[in-house]
């Protein structure tokens, strides 16, 4: 559980790790506030100084994540929580995170098109995914 090693004020913290019906689970801290995407939608463009402050904080968090051997792989405004009443940005949603080894090429076994049991009709970009047939043993 590499994420548990990422103790940083701008990374969501793991409160507990446990198994439920033989499935690994983790409980994470609750962050009261709104995500950065909603804040931008509600308030419009943020002042440059505020944006630079958030970039710096999330950048520091990502440096630690990388030092601990992880790639977030889903960095976007909706995965950055803004703490209520504080000018603090917190990186959340490590659901797509994968192991990272500097200088090594890793092949991931799961692609975006297969995550939701979907596959592209053809290799063209215009194609829409179609469901894969489900087989049960």
Indicate the burial class of 115 (C-beta count within 10 angstroms; 0-12, 13-18, 19 or more): exposed
Mean pLDDT of 97-105: 64
39 in any annotated domain:
yes
Question: CATH no. for residue 117?
Answer: 1.10.510.10
69 in any annotated domain:
yes
**pLDDT, position 39:** 93
Asked about 74 being catalytic, the answer comes back as yes
- 44, 56 in Cβ contact below 8 A? no
43 in any annotated domain:
yes
Say how many residues make up the chain: 137
Residues 6+ apart with CB under 8 A from 135: none
- The residues facing 38 across adjacent strands are none
Q: Using the predicted structure, report yes or no on whether residue 56 has a pLDDT greater than 90.
A: yes
| Residue of 19, 21, 35, 74 marked catalytic | 74
Beta strands 33-35; 80-83: pairing state: antiparallel
95 in any annotated domain:
yes
Phi, psi of 30 (to 5 degrees): -90, 130
Q: Using the predicted structure, report yes or no on whether residue 74 has a pLDDT greater than 90.
A: no
**pLDDT, position 130:** 47
Q: Which domain holds residue 46?
A: 2-131
77 in any annotated domain:
yes
The model carries a pTM of 0.66
Q: What 3-state DSSP class applies to 33?
A: strand
Beta strands 118-120; 129-131: pairing state: antiparallel
64 in any annotated domain:
yes
136 in any annotated domain:
no
Query: Nearest Cα to 4, choosing from 75, 74, 65?
Result: 65
Number of domains in the chain: 1
137 in any annotated domain:
no
Q: Using the predicted structure, report yes or no on whether residue 18 has a pLDDT greater than 60.
A: yes
């Amino acid at each position: 559980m590499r994420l548990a090693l990422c103790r940083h004020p701008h990374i969501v913290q793991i409160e507990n790790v446990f198994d439920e019906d033989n499935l690994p689970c983790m409980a994470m801290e609750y962050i009261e506030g709104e995500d950065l995407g909603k804040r931008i939608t509600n308030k419009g463009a943020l002042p440059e100084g505020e944006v630079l402050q958030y970039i710096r904080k999330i950048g520091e968090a990502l440096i630690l994540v990388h030092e601990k051997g992880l790639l977030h792989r889903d960095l976007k405004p909706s995965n950055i929580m803004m703490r209520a009443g504080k000018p603090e940005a917190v990186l959340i949603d490590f659901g797509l995170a994968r192991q990272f080894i500097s200088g090594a090429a890793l092949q991931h076994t799961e692609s975006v098109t297969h995550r939701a049991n979907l596959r592209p009709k053809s290799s063209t970009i215009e194609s829409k995914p179609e469901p894969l047939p489900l087989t049960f043993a």
